[in-house]
Amino acid sequence: MMFTENQKGVFRLLIFVLVLLILVLPFLTCGELLRAASVAQIQQHMGKEFLYGTAYSNNYSHYKYQVLKQRKPKILAMGDSRTLQIKGDFFKHPENFYNAGMLTVSLDANINALLNFPKELLPQTLILCMDQSFFTQKGVEDQRYFDEPSFLKKEDYQSFNILIRRMADDRRKDKFHFWNLLWQPNKIGVLAKTKGFGFKQDGSYYYGDVYQSKKTGAERTAVDLDRIRKGEGWFAGGEHVYSKTVERVQALIDFCKSNKIHLIAYTPPFSQSAMQIYKTRKDVGFLKEIDPVVGQMIRNAGFEFYDYTDPSKLSLTDENFIDAFHGSDVAYCLMLRDMLHKNSKTSQYIDAAKLEKLYQNRVSEIVLEVGM
């Protein structure tokens, strides 16, 4: 059969388009180019296997806000990454809970976010992670650029040209394979598709590769211990609780009172290895003041405060940690169980028997249930 020149031209064009499509497809299917609002819309049509984790853009604050507007939860968890293992499955009615961890990071950002929420987004109960960095002058002042919630700013995302260059560069470094980006339709983003890292439907975070790893707790926690030893960044020390933090906590209390929000605040646990280092440092007097100063303020206002800085309060070992300062699902299950034992008002939302069953049937010391 003879082809005319026109037919040959069309055939060559089709081949060119097919090759181009094959080359471009991974960049399109990975989901890195999707805006936060689009991800939030798509998420509603995906099941429990949904996972959102980008590697080349940081639009998590915008994403969390978009989902928050959809869900309008009665129980809202807020704070930095040390909030993210509070799971919807811990609650009697998971649909009434949302984990907005990473919507904001600093204490002021949390307060500013609440002030900027429409009234219909304010929860009945606010579970607030108060990172130890909130209580030192250096921890507060060095992080002032976080104080304006990111969802109030212009969304940060990659253009197609920049994305191609960065992804191609990482592929050359063998960080991932393009074919991993073509499958797993319930996962959006390179981290989600290649490492199983990302946000679940309830806003909590899933550490897929960590759960599959053979590393021991000691190996997982070792990575950050040097920073903690040096007191760098989030791990800065102080002789006393920073006075401006006390002022901001009072502002938070006043806001919650005036809006009839029940506040449940906690300081998250460090790993055993990290805590041992803190106990040898001479600049951490503030840790002993957190509960009697800030905690007492919150309790005097009729709210709840729990200081879990020392992991021994929950009988946690390094095996219960993702790294030196991020507790696992198991750690946070034990944290909520302890709150219940102390007559927390979370008892109206959490079934103690369900929590205990999750713990007793846990897969490992960091995983309660696969896919949870």
CA separation, residue 48 to residues 92, 156, 202, 255, 359 (Å): 17, 27, 9, 34, 20
Residue 132: name the closest of 107, 103, 101 by CA. Answer: 107
Fold that domain 60-154+214-360 belongs to in CATH: Rossmann fold (3.40.50)
Could you tell me how many residues make up the chain?
Answer: 372
The pLDDT score that the predictor gives to residue 57 is 85
d(CA 220, CA 156): 31
pLDDT along the chain (372 residues), means of 10: 59 54 64 92 94 91 97 97 97 97 95 97 98 95 87 83 84 82 88 95 97 94 94 92 97 98 98 98 97 98 98 98 98 98 95 94 96 89
The pLDDT score that the predictor gives to residue 20 is 46
DSSP 100-152: -TTS--SHHHHHHHHHHS-GGG--SEEEEE--GGGGSHHHHHTTGGGSS-GGG
Residue 15's φ and ψ, nearest 5 degrees, are -60, -45
The answer to whether 265 and 305 have CB atoms below 8 angstroms apart is yes
The pLDDT score that the predictor gives to residue 95 is 96
CA separation, residue 331 to residues 118, 153, 271, 293, 355 (Å): 33, 34, 10, 25, 12
Query: E strand or H helix at 29, and its extent?
Result: helix 5-29
The pLDDT score that the predictor gives to residue 360 is 97
The pLDDT score that the predictor gives to residue 136 is 96
The answer to whether 203 and 64 have CB atoms below 8 angstroms apart is yes
Query: Per the confidence metrics, is the pTM higher than 0.85?
Result: yes
Domain ranges of the chain: 60-154+214-360
The answer to whether 90 and 357 have CB atoms below 8 angstroms apart is no
**What is the DSSP code (8-state) at residue 157?**
-
159: left (phi over 0), alpha (psi -120 to 50) or beta: beta
Residue 88: name the closest of 355, 311, 341, 307 by CA. Answer: 355
